[in-house]
Amino acid sequence: MRDMYEVMDLWGAWAAADSSGVDWQPIAAGFKGLLPHGKKSRLQCSDDEGIVIDGCVARLRKYKTDEYELIIAHFVVGISLRTIAKKRRCSDGTIRKELQTALGFIDGVMSVLV
């Protein structure tokens, strides 16, 4: 079995480095890259893996929007789970359970695709 947290962490770095088109709105000419999302010095997955995971995350967006927002906030933008819990006014455990649900969904979709 693969460590989905590590896989998603690598994908998050890949997506933050402007390789992904899952969550980003089109930006007016001249403004692309003005505000960086996340650190560009993080380890990244390959483009092939990133595209497969993008497809899985896109399916997550279609069926489970709360978990999708959690994945983007935590892995791409880099917001800690504790900060997300404070914003949503719930416990850390609730956020961790949602994250585990999202990771399980993505792992399941990846198992079907690959």
pLDDT digit string, tens, across residues 6-57: 999 999 999 888 655 554 444 444 444 444 454 457 788 888 889 999 999 9
pLDDT digit string, tens, across residues 58-80: 999 999 989 999 999 999 988 99
Q: Whole domain around residue 57: which residue ranges?
A: 4-19+43-113
For residue 31, being part of any structural domain is answered with no
**Can you give the pLDDT at residue 20?**
53
For residue 94, being part of any structural domain is answered with yes
pTM above 0.75, yes or no: yes
Q: Is the pLDDT of residue 103 over 90?
A: yes
Q: Report yes or no: 103 and 5 within 8 Å, Cβ to Cβ.
A: yes
Number of structural domains in the chain: 1
For residue 76, being part of any structural domain is answered with yes
For residue 79, being part of any structural domain is answered with yes
CA-CA-CA-CA dihedral for 37, 7, 69, 107, to nearest 10: 160
Instruction: Residue 45: name the closest of 72, 9, 74 by CA.
Output: 9
For residue 37, being part of any structural domain is answered with no
For residue 30, being part of any structural domain is answered with no
